[in-house]
Amino acid sequence: MTCSILVGGAWGDEGKGKCITYLCDNDKPDIIARAGVGPNAGHSVEFNGEKYGLRLTPSGFVHTDAKLMIGAGVLVNPDVLFNEFENLKKYNVKERMCVDPRCAIINEDHMSRDKSSEHLAKKIGSTGSGCGPANSDRVLRTIELAKDVPELEEYITDVSLACNEAIDNGEDVFIEGSQGFALSLYYGSYPFVTSKDTTASTFAADVGVGPTKVDEVIDVFKAYISRVGEGPFPTEMTQEEAESKGLEEYGVVTGRRRRIGYFDMELAKESCRINGATQIALTCVDKLFDCARVQNYDDLSAETKAFIEDIQTETGVPVTIISTGPDLKDTIDLRKELL
Ligand code: GTP
Ligand code: IMP
Ligand code: MG
């Protein structure tokens, strides 16, 4: 029995989509449960030569024997979810999806308030997905819940009960966080943050699993850092520098150009500490060093190994997964050696 939580180490877009897909395809958990804020997330998955951009469906959907769940803490936009059912038809996502009755529902009003708010859209640079206004209504206790939406009736399942029963029966549960540590309402660069805490403890609460049941916390970092939206970014580089290094990126949800910076060790240390990380997954190492598609640690250059070992030493957390490309095969998995 293993209950794992995967979290974003920085400002989101660390490559969680690829890591989750690799881990679920490899480890075949019985339940894959989505935690985090809601459809403000955009996870990229490349599987069997096809690309998917996901906002609510767990990125582990490629493991077709798993039940897919959305925990009570996550905001649901039914239109986004139904659209993903359509796009992911061949993976039977609709048939496997369970939505907790206590999920709060995003409506048109939340989206238009998000997009038309000078504060949210301009100052903070929100995604416009309605998450901020929806979480605000949730706190005011005026929001509609999934149990009261007729179109969701067939998916309604007590996700917390299902996850805890699975853990008690010796099954594996994989909890997918979204966003990233530095976007946390509590620990991020307030006010330039999202509308909820985004650390491992909250992700456990999102699906209704208590802290004593969690075995592994996998903190995902990119070999460099990206940030969309406004707010401080201590290791930011200029656009020209990012372009010259081939590190240009655009957002999955909003299409906005991402700001790019160097790996931030102080942020990594804090992220590992507050998340209680037991493992680090490091992605896009091939974009910083010449190691595209390398699958063996020994084949990495001395410079690349030094970069990885420095992260390990400074954070005190083993770097168990090293991603060297978008495909699942482009992964160095050191879990057998290091854990
Ligand atoms: P999360 O929001 O953290 O889930 O990240 P994401 O999956 O949304 O990442 P993003 O939208 O930034 O997409 C990253 C892109 O890089 C996707 O097209 C991935 O397939 C790809 N990718 C992921 N890992 C690697 C890697 O190790 N190397 C390279 N070259 N590309 C990667
Ligand atoms: P909101 O979550 O839409 O309110 O946006 C608040 C801030 O969080 C903005 O800077 C967004 O760009 C950022 N943000 C929210 N979700 C994500 C994500 O999944 N990846 C990257 N940035 C995000
Ligand atoms: Mg993303």
CA 35 to centroid of ligand 2, rounded, Å: 15
The residue count of the chain comes to: 339
- Ligand 2: does its nearest atom lie under 6 Å from the Cβ of 178? yes
Q: Is the CB of 73 under 6 A from ligand 1?
A: no
Residue 73 is predicted with a pLDDT of 98
The residues placing their C-beta within 5 Å of ligand 3, an ion, are: 13, 42
Who contacts 46 (Cβ-Cβ below 8 Å, separation ≥6)? 18, 21, 52, 326, 327, 328
Q: Report the pLDDT value the prediction gives residue 232, as an integer from 0 to 100.
A: 96
Q: Is 63 a catalytic residue?
A: no
Tokens in use for 102? 């206590």
Closest Cα to atom 19, ligand 2: which residue?
41
Rounded to 5 degrees, φ, ψ at 258 are: -90, 145
Q: Which ligand approaches the C-alpha of residue 51 most closely?
A: 1
Q: What is the pLDDT of residue 58?
A: 97
pTM of structure: 0.97
Instruction: Pick from 20, 37, 122, 126 the residue to mutate for probing ligand 2's pocket: most ligand atoms within 8 Å of its CB.
Output: 126
Q: How far apart are CA 184 and CA 153, in angstroms?
A: 31
- Tell me how far apart the alpha carbons of residues 339 and 337 are, in angstroms, rounded to a whole number: 6
| Ligand 1 neighbourhood includes 55 CB (under 6 angstroms) | no
| Alpha-helical runs (H) found in the chain | 16-27, 78-87, 93-96, 108-116, 131-140, 159-168, 200-207, 239-244, 265-275, 285-288, 302-315, 335-338
- Residue from 30, 43, 286, 330 carrying the catalytic annotation: 43
- Residue ranges, the chain, pLDDT below 50: none
Is 110 one of the annotated active-site residues of the chain?
A: no
Query: How many Å lie between the centroid of ligand 3 and the Cα of residue 165?
Result: 30
Binding site membership of 16 for ligand 1 (Cβ less than 6 Å): yes
pLDDT at residue 13 in the model: 93
* Nearest atom in ligand 2 to 256's CA: 12
What pairs with residue 331 in β-bridges?
Answer: 323
Q: Ligand 2: distance of its center to the CA of 23 in Å? A: 24
Q: How far is the CA of 24 from the centre of ligand 2 (A)?
A: 25
